Amino acid sequence: MADADEDVIHAPANASTQPEVDLSDETQDFRFLNHLNFFADSSPGIPRRGEKDFEPNPTELQADVLAASRGAMHNALSYPRLHGAKTRVIAFYAPDGYVPPAQPDRAKPKAGEDGKSSESTPKPARPLPSSARISPDACVYVPSPKGQFFKTMGQADSSSRVWLLPEEALYLIERGSLDIRWPSPSAGPGEEDLSVPMSLQAAYACFMGRGGLTLERYSVYTGLKRLGYALVRAPGWCDDIEPQDTDIPDASQAAPAKLHGPGLAGILGSLFNWIHDPLSTASTATGPIIGTGIHRHYMDVYRKLAIIPWYDPVTAPERHPFDTSPPFRVVFHIYKPSTPFKKSAPPAPDFRIAVVSTRDQTTMPTMTQLGALLESTPLDPPRGEKMERMMYMRLRHGYRNVVMAVVDQGVVSYLRIADSAFGKEKLYENKGGPQGPKRSRTNQKPRKR
Amino acid sequence: MDKPVAAKSGPASDARPPRAPRPPRPNYRQIHQFPLPVNVHHVPPVIPHNPLSLISVALSYLTFLISPPRQEVYSAYFDKTTSSIHVTDERSINALWQMGFFGKGSLSRSEPSWLAREKKRRGLHNGKTSEEMTRLRRTERRELKLERARMEKLAIEERLKAEAAAREAGVSEPLDQAAQSTPTDDTTNVTAATTEKFSLKKAKEARMLEEKKARELAAQNAALAEQNQPETSSNNKSVRFSPIVQKKEFLSTSPSSLQLPDSVVDNLDSDDFPNEEHLQLSNEEAFFLAYSLGALQIYDSPSKLGEVQSTSSITTSALLQQFCHHSFQPARDASASLLPDDPFMISYTVYHHFRSLGWVIRSGVKFGTDYLLYNRGPVFSHAEFAVVIIPSYTHPYWSETEERKNYTGEKQARSWWWMHSVSRVQAQVLKSLVVCYVDVPPPAASLDDIGALFGQYKVREFLIKRWIPNRTRD
């Protein structure tokens, strides 16, 4: 029954069991858009997609369905997108980047050069957000922010203006949720409304390439943002900071790389084995490694066989984010929509993502690059009762993990990379045998492994 | 109208007919109880409060001292022309397959089962080999698909009929609906007409084909049948909805395929025929068996047919050299120096690493990877992991000169497209992709200590899986 691998291919294409069906890969049936009500905001549910025909057939039914789908799409696209008077948010472009509030326009003392003005605020009960967190790359400010977007975007300064990063501003203007104005030469507090609105083209021209924002990073940002994730820039955003010194970490990495086969334990083990089995003639020089004597247990045999050193992710030293080679560096921290996210104190990210352009970096990372990328993420060993029970899950989860977004001319494919130490799972000690009998596949409820 | 829905969702779940109960499987647990072809002798347990147990332990030691049990050593030969290891001894073949799943039958897909299949064919043996089971399953599946296609076709035809009827009704009585879209009505009329013609033509074709076939069968002309073969297969696509044609084709081909071997068989003694199959070991498997377990002795191949094999086996260090030279195509000259990043060295490092952890590791060429990892063995469970190997050169030696940098850069380069195709294939066959980097040491001074040589390599595994943001939102 060694053929069994082959029938896996022909497994029934059940949508619930197929792990890799990505709905966004398919041509869509747009009729579901008909059920969307654009005028009433009382439809929170996401509409279901229709069924798909694989071949054209001459029935009128199919033609009608196709026409209806097209009509629905056009209908949805032709819906006028306007800035509602109520939800309108106006922002101003600051070409010189963040400037601390100069005028004490709200009866506030002038902030310091770096914006640290918390000691001079009149209301100590509510600590003002520290302006120090505002990135120097921020170039758009919103004087009166409102709406849900500012829950996860932007940073407020001491005069409660929210400063947006280029990608945030671009995302919002593209979405139609923000009206960015060019700075007017005589910008007074009251005259701001007279300034000229910025077009989408101008926004792209102004923000793309500013402060390390590349088109690849922006596609990843918007793609995930539209799915509801919250994204913040990671410390490794800047490419300019080169690895501080590549030689030192290499040496320090080489030092703790202890051989897991013949160590002290190995010597002790062989001594014990010698007592245990005096006829052993084990020799790694010319073999046989396990010797020609009497073997008492297969575990001993396997232990003797372990001569190949392997990498242990637990003992490996953690690296600084800048100690990685630039395209393979975490640039975004990602939070699931379900994760409670607070701008002022972001929790530990759910995912860390590195963005790679296939046109600049044409090959896969080498072990050094990939290893450095993973070592710059914190240790995340498999935990939980389920993980303890299931070895395959442990191996798949790994000890560290990172998501790599590979952008090929605008097409983003994400890869989750995990540092899985097979050497830490001694399969031969596993008494239980494989999880789940092979026959389970033919049962009524197949469990895909 | 219910039919198309049923036809669409059916085949996946409920349309599958209940399978005939399979014949009981052999007791694999018993057959493959030993994970490696190494004899293991357990010591009787010591029970502290029972002095007799001590005696039994002492006795077992004594018997081993007086007459040590012999470790079985199997023999194989290295075939230089094909760079492969052959095991021809029946007992060795069985032992190596049953204990650790080493090798592959040269005439079988995996387990050497040619003899059983041949006996079955000659009616000497009943029971089913795995190859036959697969064939059966495939026929079953093909029939299912044909049935599904037929159902879909039926549904479409019914739909067309209904639409034509509705149109007739619409035309006969002046309706306000007809006014709104006359051009589309026209086109649909035309398409409907063509389809009806089309299906009619198809039916005609099918009938003609059947008639032709019947005539051919009557004539019993083998040459004509062969000529017709490609024609039927090309027509097959348009007529695939009709199961009759399929059956006919099957019937017409089956006697011709069976006839020839049978006539050959008849003049053979059907009871006694030699096993034409041998077990073929990969170089990594052979080296593992010879060097690590000492369970295999490898001889040079007999240069002439009938010549006695050379009596002395190849030493492990000579074997390593030979395998390394044969890891290139064509094999390198025997005098060439050993490279530390020789493909054999790297693949053996990975092979040994996973074997020493208890995995049954076999070639993954079927899935476009280097290796597959089985838990206990292929008869027990599907492979969960598929391994691809990429060399890595982190040692400072490799970045000393520009030439070496270029060389290593070329060696470790893998394109994103390659990565994506490998990972998508693995997802489709429900395996997890393991990218296994092997850190290559600088060239070694001597090859005397093989263990120390392999101890310089280092293995690091990364598990790479496609991440679908839509599915991790919670």
Per-residue three-class SS string for A412-448: EEEEEEEECCHHHCCHHHCCCCCCCCHHHHHCCCCCC
Q: What is the pLDDT of residue B181?
A: 39
Given a cut of 80, whether residue B352 has pLDDT beyond it is yes
Region B437-466 average pLDDT: 89
CB contacts of B8 in chain A (<8 Å) are: 51
Q: Which residue has the higher pLDDT, A25 or B300?
A: B300
Do A235 and A383 lie in a common domain? Answer: yes
Alpha helix (H) residue ranges in B67-181? 90-98, 114-121, 130-172, 176-180
- Domain assignment present for A167: yes
Directed axis angle between helix B182-219 and helix B222-236, to 10°?
Answer: 160
Q: Which residue has the higher pLDDT, B24 or B147?
A: B147
Region B339-365 average pLDDT: 92
**Could you tell me what percent of chain B has a pLDDT over 70?**
70
The answer to whether B462 contacts A227, with C-beta atoms less than 8 Å apart, is no
Fold classified for B71-107+277-328 = MutS, DNA mismatch repair protein, domain I (3.40.1170)
Phi and psi based region of residue B8 (left: phi greater than 0; alpha: psi -120 to 50; beta: remaining): alpha
From B419's Cα to the closest Cα of chain A, the distance in A is 8
Do A225 and A336 lie in a common domain? Answer: yes
Dihedral sign computed on CA atoms, order A180, A181, A182, A186: negative
Q: Which of A 134-193 lie inside 8 A of B, CB atoms?
A: none
Lowest-confidence pick of A92-96, A161-165, B223-227, B275-279: B223-227
Region B365-384 average pLDDT: 91
The one-letter code for the residue type at A302 is Y
Strands B432-439, B458-466: pairing is antiparallel
Please provide the DSSP assignment of B123-138 as one string.
TS--S--HHHHHHHHH
pLDDT tens for A249-280 read 443 343 343 444 445 555 555 555 554 554 45
Q: What is the pLDDT of residue A185?
A: 67
CB A114 within 8 A of CB A132: yes
Q: The tokens 């392999």 sit on which residue?
A: B454
Spacing of C-alpha A182 from chain mean position: 33
Lowest-confidence pick of A298-307, A410-419, B411-420: A298-307
| Stated length of chain B | 474
Q: What is the pLDDT of residue A69?
A: 83
Q: Who among B39, B315, B455 is closest to A259 (CB)?
A: B455
Confidence of residue A241 (pLDDT cuts 50, 70, 90): low
The answer to whether B462 contacts A22, with C-beta atoms less than 8 Å apart, is no
The two three-digit tokens of residue A52, written as one number: 């798909």
Most confident range, picked from A226-230, B66-70, B251-255, B302-306: A226-230
The answer to whether B384 contacts A392, with C-beta atoms less than 8 Å apart, is yes
Residue B132 forms contact with A (CB below 8 Å): no
Residue B359 forms contact with A (CB below 8 Å): yes
The answer to whether B473 contacts A433, with C-beta atoms less than 8 Å apart, is no
Region B224-249 average pLDDT: 42
Our count of domains for chain A comes to 2
Do A304 and A351 lie in a common domain? Answer: yes
The two three-digit tokens of residue B229, written as one number: 């073969």
The answer to whether B449 contacts A285, with C-beta atoms less than 8 Å apart, is yes
Closest CA to B60 of B69, B72, B51: B69
Residue B400's alpha-carbon distances to B310, B393, B407, B420, B441, in angstroms, are 46, 11, 12, 32, 13
Given a cut of 60, whether residue A190 has pLDDT beyond it is no
Region A24-40 average pLDDT: 58
The answer to whether B384 contacts A449, with C-beta atoms less than 8 Å apart, is yes
Region A81-91 average pLDDT: 80
The answer to whether A2 contacts B25, with C-beta atoms less than 8 Å apart, is no
CB contacts of A61 in chain B (<8 Å) are: 159, 163
The answer to whether B465 contacts A415, with C-beta atoms less than 8 Å apart, is yes
Residue B109 forms contact with A (CB below 8 Å): yes
CB A89 within 8 A of CB A143: no
The two three-digit tokens of residue A184, written as one number: 């007017």
Order of strands, sheet of A401-408, starting from the edge strand that comes earlier in the sequence: A230-233, A330-335, A351-357, A401-408, A411-419, B458-466, B432-439, B385-392, B371-375, B359-363
Q: What is the pLDDT of residue A41?
A: 44
Q: What is the pLDDT of residue A25?
A: 53
Given a cut of 80, whether residue B222 has pLDDT beyond it is no
Given a cut of 80, whether residue B236 has pLDDT beyond it is no
Q: Who among B156, B419, B449 is closest to A57 (CB)?
A: B156
Region B405-419 average pLDDT: 92
Confidence of residue B248 (pLDDT cuts 50, 70, 90): very low
CB contacts of B130 in chain A (<8 Å) are: 1-3
The C-alpha atoms of residue B142 and residue B249 are separated, in whole angstroms, by 14
**For this structure, is B374 an active site residue?**
yes
Q: What is the pLDDT of residue B213?
A: 66
Q: What is the pLDDT of residue A406?
A: 95
Between chain A and chain B, the number of residue pairs with CB atoms below 8 A apart is 316
Q: What is the pLDDT of residue A207?
A: 92
ipTM: 0.73
The C-alpha atoms of residue A175 and residue A366 are separated, in whole angstroms, by 38
Closest CA to B158 of A57, A67, A55, A56: A57
The C-alpha atoms of residue A130 and residue A421 are separated, in whole angstroms, by 42
Do A179 and A218 lie in a common domain? Answer: no
Confidence of residue B66 (pLDDT cuts 50, 70, 90): confident
Confidence of residue B391 (pLDDT cuts 50, 70, 90): very high
Confidence of residue B180 (pLDDT cuts 50, 70, 90): very low
Mean pLDDT of chain B: 76
Tell me which of A183, A206, A229 is where a domain ends: A206
Beta strands in A185-284 (DSSP E): 230-233
Closest CA to B123 of B304, B322, B266: B266
CATH 3.40.1170.20 intervals, chain B? 71-107+277-328
CA neighbours within 13 Å on the CB side: how many for B420?
Answer: 16
Residue A443 forms contact with B (CB below 8 Å): no
CATH 3.40.1350.10 intervals, chain B? 337-474
The C-alpha atoms of residue A276 and residue A280 are separated, in whole angstroms, by 9
Q: What is the pLDDT of residue A444?
A: 36
CB contacts of A414 in chain B (<8 Å) are: 466-469
Residue A418 forms contact with B (CB below 8 Å): yes
Please tell me the CATH code under which domain B337-474 is placed: 3.40.1350.10
Residue in chain A closest to B433 (alpha carbons) equals A396
Cis peptide bond N-terminal to B330, omega within 30: yes
Tell me which of A160, A184, A206 is where a domain ends: A206
Give the domain extent around A178.
84-97+131-206
Given a cut of 60, whether residue B187 has pLDDT beyond it is no
Given a cut of 50, whether residue A43 has pLDDT beyond it is no
State the CB neighbour count (10 A cutoff) for residue B252: 16
Given a cut of 90, whether residue A205 has pLDDT beyond it is yes
**Could you tell me what percent of chain B has a pLDDT over 90?**
27
Given a cut of 70, whether residue B302 has pLDDT beyond it is no
Q: Who among B42, B392, B464 is closest to A366 (CB)?
A: B392
**In terms of C-beta density within 10 A (0-12 exposed, 13-18 middle, 19 or more buried), how is residue A432 classed?**
exposed
Region A396-425 average pLDDT: 92
Q: Who among B38, B355, B460 is closest to A311 (CB)?
A: B460
Residue A429 forms contact with B (CB below 8 Å): yes
Please provide the DSSP assignment of A98-110 as one string.
-----S-TTS-PP
State the CB neighbour count (10 A cutoff) for residue B24: 6
Q: What is the value of pTM for the model shown?
A: 0.73
3-state helix, strand, coil split of chain A in percent (to 5) is 30, 10, 55
The C-alpha atoms of residue A449 and residue B432 are separated, in whole angstroms, by 9
From A380's Cα to the closest Cα of chain B, the distance in A is 14
Residue A255 forms contact with B (CB below 8 Å): no
Given a cut of 70, whether residue B11 has pLDDT beyond it is no
Do A182 and A325 lie in a common domain? Answer: no
Closest CA to B321 of A427, A286, A299: A286
The C-alpha atoms of residue B288 and residue B283 are separated, in whole angstroms, by 8
Residue B262's alpha-carbon distances to B122, B123, B132, B256, B267, in angstroms, are 9, 11, 18, 10, 9
pLDDT tens for A100-154 read 766 544 433 333 334 333 333 343 334 444 556 788 888 899 988 888 888 888 8
CB contacts of B379 in chain A (<8 Å) are: 1-2, 438
**For this structure, is B431 an active site residue?**
yes
CB contacts of B413 in chain A (<8 Å) are: 363-364
Beta strands in A284-350 (DSSP E): 330-335
The C-alpha atoms of residue B331 and residue B322 are separated, in whole angstroms, by 9
CB contacts of A432 in chain B (<8 Å) are: none
CB contacts of B372 in chain A (<8 Å) are: 5
Do A380 and A314 lie in a common domain? Answer: yes
pLDDT tens for A384-402 read 888 888 888 889 999 999 9
Q: What's the CATH number where A196 sits?
A: 3.40.1170.20
Strands A330-335, A90-93: pairing is unpaired
Q: Who among B35, B294, B473 is closest to A337 (CB)?
A: B473
**Could you tell me what percent of chain A has a pLDDT over 90?**
22
Residue A223 forms contact with B (CB below 8 Å): yes
Most confident range, picked from A280-284, A437-441, B294-298: B294-298
The C-alpha atoms of residue A282 and residue A270 are separated, in whole angstroms, by 9
The C-alpha atoms of residue A116 and residue A106 are separated, in whole angstroms, by 17
Q: The tokens 């060993």 sit on which residue?
A: A381
The C-alpha atoms of residue A236 and residue A32 are separated, in whole angstroms, by 41
Report the DSSP beta bridge partners of residue A407: A357, A412
Given a cut of 70, whether residue B269 has pLDDT beyond it is no
CB B71 within 8 A of CB A292: yes
The two three-digit tokens of residue B159, written as one number: 């739909």
Q: What is the pLDDT of residue B305?
A: 53
What burial letters (b/e) apply to A169-199, b meaning 16+ CB within 10 Å? bbbbbeeebbbbbeeeeeeeeeeeeebeebe
Do A299 and A200 lie in a common domain? Answer: no
- Domain assignment present for A271: no
- Which residues lie below 8 Å from residue A113, measured CB to CB, with a gap of 6+? A100
Lowest-confidence pick of A290-304, A434-448, B211-225: A434-448
Confidence of residue A201 (pLDDT cuts 50, 70, 90): very high
Q: What is the pLDDT of residue B20?
A: 58
Do A202 and A234 lie in a common domain? Answer: no
CB B334 within 8 A of CB B274: no
Do A145 and A227 lie in a common domain? Answer: no
